Amino acid sequence: MKILNRRDFLLLLGAANAALTVGLPGLAFADEAAEQKAKAEAAVKAFTGGKEAAQGSLILEAPDVAENGAQVPVAISMKGVKPVRVALVVDHNPVPTALDAAISPKYAGDAKIAVRIKMKRSSLVRAYAYDEKGKLHGAGKNVTVTLGGCG
């Protein structure tokens, strides 16, 4: 049987150490990501009731790349149909639901809503809407944030 020399032993120690320091935060990060995903899915389910959303009629406007995560412009509108309730979900934000609005079509015109949101980091942004007939619509867009701004 080979006896470990000093060099091998140090290498082994180094590897074990690296596994510890890299491995543990890695695990914590995975937990955090899973937790965040669950939060986002819960936010979506609270609005959609788990139903499948029709694509195409709901228009979500957001930049591909947001240089300043403190002020990301997002707009929600519909074509062809009128929304009576809309929601905006930012998957990676600590509180994913940014907006949940009831709309009374009588004076709402196009019922287009635009806001500026803070984004902690790059994330999927999702919009949902119920039209006057109760049909659920959805749209999503990935927004890359170069400077996070949960300030």
Partner 1 sequence: MAEIGTAKLRLPKMAKGKSAQAQTIIVHPNDSGFAKDETGAIPPAYFIEALTVEFEGEVVYAMNLGPSLSKDPYIEFSLAVDKPGRLRLTWKDNKGAVFTREQVVEPA
Instruction: Give the residues lining the site for partner 1 (CB under 8 A).
Output: 70-72, 75, 90, 93-104, 106-120, 150-151
Closer of 17 and 142 to partner 1 (Cβ) = 142
- DSSP assignment letter at 116: E
Q: How far is the CB of 82 from partner 1 (least distance, A)?
A: 11
Residues 6+ apart with CB under 8 A from 94: 39, 120, 150
CB of 99 to partner 1, least distance (A): 6
* C-beta of 72 vs 139, nearer to partner 1: 72
Residues in Cβ contact with 16 at an 8 Å cutoff, skipping those fewer than 6 apart? none
Q: Is the Cβ of residue 1 or residue 102 nearer to partner 1 in the bound state?
A: 102
Collapsing DSSP states into helix, strand and coil, what is residue 54?
A: strand
Work out how close the CB of 50 gets to partner 1 at its nearest, in angstroms, rounded to a whole number. Answer: 20
Residue 37 or 116: which CB sits closer to partner 1? Answer: 116
* Whole-number Å distance between alpha carbons of 44 and 35: 14
Rounded least distance, CB 51 to partner 1, Å: 20
8 A C-beta contact, residue 130 and residue 136: yes
